[in-house]
Amino acid sequence: MKIAVIGISCTKFKEHWDKSLQDLLAQAQLEAIKDAKIFPQQIEAIFTGNMCSGIFSGQLHLGSMAAENLSLNTPSTVIEGACASGGLALRAGILAIQSGLHNVVMVNGVEKMTDLDTEQITTGLMAAANEEYEHSVGATFAGLNALIAKRYMYEFGLTREQLAAVSIKNHKNGALNPLAHFQKEICIKNILTSTIIADPLTIFDCAPISDGAASIILSTPEFAKKLLEKRPDQKIVYIIGSAQASDTLALNCREKLTEFKANKIAAQIAYEMSNITPQQIDLAEIHDGFSITEIISLEDLGFFETGTAGKATENGETSLNSKISINPSGGLKAKGHPVGATGISQAYEVVIQLRGQAGERQVKNAKVGLTHNMGGCGTTSVVHIFSKE
């Protein structure tokens, strides 16, 4: 597989009280077109990842909105897979090009969350879990992830400090990212003395509620080649692996809490498809909805042995320009997590890094990058591998 990324954009992630869902979506779409230096009319199909606009804004049918924003009548479809909606939309865009039916496809991710109060948002997000067996009995995602963290700590001796090292590292990266919701470093004391959301997770273990949008424009390698002939300064990055897997909605049906089967399956297929090993990945954007999900995902994706990712993080092995640069953008924790936008914003970071345009947070000599987007507690997992060539 070889799909060209010819344009990309990401809005600032924050509480956008002055912008509507449509404003954010339109901004990302127009900036990606500007980045690709193509005409909107060249876009043959649109896919938009979104989870909660129906619940949060009473607005579904964002496919039509995305086409209307560009005055197009092209096929335009919404893709939903909870917090993995963006990543699944990217995969839908890739399939559309691979199908031979389309040469140039736009993929968006968008979420407008902050128009509601926190309780309404937490309730809305629980639609990603099992309504009957989890939500209706009072579980929240922080609660479910706390269960997972407790079990992982029990099995592998992960310390509270090691868990905290994830958020400290991600905030350190986020401080260098002008698009991040929190451009601010935090220290171990901040985390250990902050509000407990669900023991052992404090507020600094949980990704924030953010608004934002991101867009990516994909094409066949042939289209990208022609584009390069006209605009030799254009920097093209390629997607060489795409894989997706599912697990049970409810945690009680899983064999293990300390690994995510969907992650393992998706990663294996993506590595095989791209003929890349975990050791060849220079940087990865990992779905750190909670600090514990970064630890587990690092292992599921083959970067560290089972039970060792906490220690490795504490030792700085996942810091910027170390063994592997994990979440150079700041991750969901510091960059923010407008759920439907997250998967595309991860692709934005990897593409910008591979282009060498990441400024202060640039990973040196970055050639191969990976994005890992997850819905629920490892319920849907989608992995993409990007290459400079």
Closer by beta carbon to a copy of itself, 32 or else 92: 92
Reduce the DSSP state of residue 171 to 3 states and report it: helix
Distances (CA, A) of 72 to 10, 66, 176, 221, 263: 21, 9, 37, 24, 36
In sequence order, the 6+-apart residues with CB closer than 8 A to the CB of 207 are 288, 289, 290, 331, 332, 333, 336, 337
Catalytic residue among 83, 135, 372, 377: 83
- Give me the residues that bind a copy of itself (CB under 8 A), please: 20, 22, 51-55, 57-61, 63-65, 67-68, 72-82, 88, 91-92, 94-96, 98-101, 123-124, 126-132, 135, 243-249, 253, 261-262, 265, 375-376, 379-380
- The nearest distance, CB 238 to a copy of itself, in angstroms, is 17
- The nearest distance, CB 58 to a copy of itself, in angstroms, is 5
- The nearest distance, CB 254 to a copy of itself, in angstroms, is 11
Q: Is 377 a catalytic residue?
A: no
Closer by beta carbon to a copy of itself, 167 or else 242: 242
Distance (Å, rounded) from C-alpha 236 to C-alpha 182? 29
Q: Is 83 a catalytic residue?
A: yes
Q: Output the CA torsion sign for 182, 260, 150, 306.
A: negative
To which H or E segment does residue 239 belong? strand 237-246
Closer by beta carbon to a copy of itself, 100 or else 232: 100
- The nearest distance, CB 169 to a copy of itself, in angstroms, is 29
Distance (Å, rounded) from C-alpha 345 to C-alpha 8? 9
- Pairing label, strands 368-375, 283-285: parallel
- The nearest distance, CB 190 to a copy of itself, in angstroms, is 32
Closer by beta carbon to a copy of itself, 188 or else 269: 269
Closer by beta carbon to a copy of itself, 57 or else 327: 57
Catalytic residue among 337, 372, 377, 384: 337
Token couple for 3: 């799909």
Comparing CA positions, the residue from 140, 138, 166 lying closest to residue 152 is 166
Q: Active-site positions?
A: 83, 337
